[in-house]
Amino acid sequence: MRRPLIAGNWKMHLTRQEAVVLAQQIAQRSGDTTTADLAICPPSVYLDAVGAVIRGTDVGLGAQNMYFEPNGAFTGEISGSMLVDLQCRYVILGHSERRHILGETDEDVNRKTAVALELGLVPIVCVGETLAEREAGKTAAVVSGQCAGSLAGLSAEQMQQVVIAYEPVWAIGTGKVATPEQAEAVHADLRRLLETRYNAAVAETVRILYGGSVKPDNAAALLSQKNIDGALVGGAALKADSFFGIVAGVGDA
């Protein structure tokens, strides 16, 4: 049985003070949640302060990105070991904003994923098609291609540590959520792909999150789908009430 994961991706939002207050609110309410793992991914400059607030609670700390080199002359980058040093448990990799705005490739995501796993971080690897790709009937090909590239070379054991996030680009920050059926179809495809590339045990273990305009009023319908194992939440994760409104969508499963 896969335990759901609800992760808040705070993107490049909030002041330091706002981040600390939001983390406090989430930490306070997290004890009521027994049916899902919770994670928050603040901007990297707030990881330390937010981490101090949630330490000792069940809320996991996540980063939004990392670089694949361990250290060196890479101005502006942050290594995986630095994230470990800050007691991060998760790292989002290959988010569509990094792929489409900042030019990250599957190969970059693959190198980062391998390093994150070596360091004991849980990579949340994002995939998803653009609207043009969906309309051209290329969703399955794009998503499976991104998975093949981003997850290349991982052993079955490593793969079981990875979380995949399906985030259709057209649903991110647009208010246009995928229908539960549209999302479930892609999640089921991804799980079949894992079975083909690895085995049934891996396919059954890997959590596949949905992301893209998840809100309290659509969360339950998405999260009740067989192959949707949680959510990666942007805008609605910036307020404790809406974050926990989504967590409530997990129900008592």
69 is catalytic: no
Active-site annotation holder among 97, 104, 129, 167: 167
* Region binding ligand 13P by CB under 6 A among candidate stretches 113-121, 134-142, 197-205, 208-216: 208-216
Whether residue 95 lies in the annotated active site: yes
- Give yes or no for residue 78 binding ligand 13P (CB under 6 A): no
One of 95, 97, 184, 187 is an active-site residue; which one?
95
169 binds ligand 13P (CB under 6 A): no
Q: Per CB under 6 A, which of residues 105..124 are in contact with ligand 13P?
A: none
Exposure on the CB side of residue 121, measured as CA atoms within 13 A: 31
Dist CA 197 CA 53 (whole Å): 40
Handedness of CA 207, 213, 219, 224 (dihedral sign): negative
**Member of 4, 5, 6, 9 binding ligand 13P (CB under 6 A):** 9
Selected from 80, 94, 211, 230, the binder of ligand 13P by CB under 6 A is 211
CB of 166 to ligand 13P, least distance (A): 11
The 3 state secondary structure assigned to 33-70 is CCCCEEEEECCHHHHHHHHHHHCCCCEEEEECCCECCC
Tokens of 198: 């690895």
**Stretch of residues binding ligand 13P (CB under 6 A), selected from 45-53, 106-114, 178-186, 207-215:** 207-215
Helix, strand, or coil (residue 131): helix
Q: Which is nearer to ligand 13P, 145 or 216 (CB)?
A: 216
Residue 167 interacts with ligand 13P (CB under 6 A): yes or no? yes
Residues sharing a CB contact under 8 Å with residue 228, sequence separation 6 or more, in sequence order: 180, 183, 184, 187, 208, 209, 210, 222
Residue 233 makes contact with ligand 13P by CB under 6 A: yes
234 binds ligand 13P (CB under 6 A): yes
Q: What mask of x and - would describe binding to ligand 13P in positions 38 to 77, judged by CB under 6 A? A: ----------------------------------------
Q: Is 232 in the site for ligand 13P (CB under 6 A)?
A: yes
Greatest CA separation found in the chain? Answer: 49
Are 49 and 15 spatial neighbours (Cβ–Cβ below 8 Å)? no
Cα torsion at 33, 211, 102, 94 (round to 10°)? 70
Catalytic residue numbers? 95, 167
**Rule CB under 6 A: which residues touch ligand 13P?**
9, 95, 167, 172-173, 211-214, 232-236
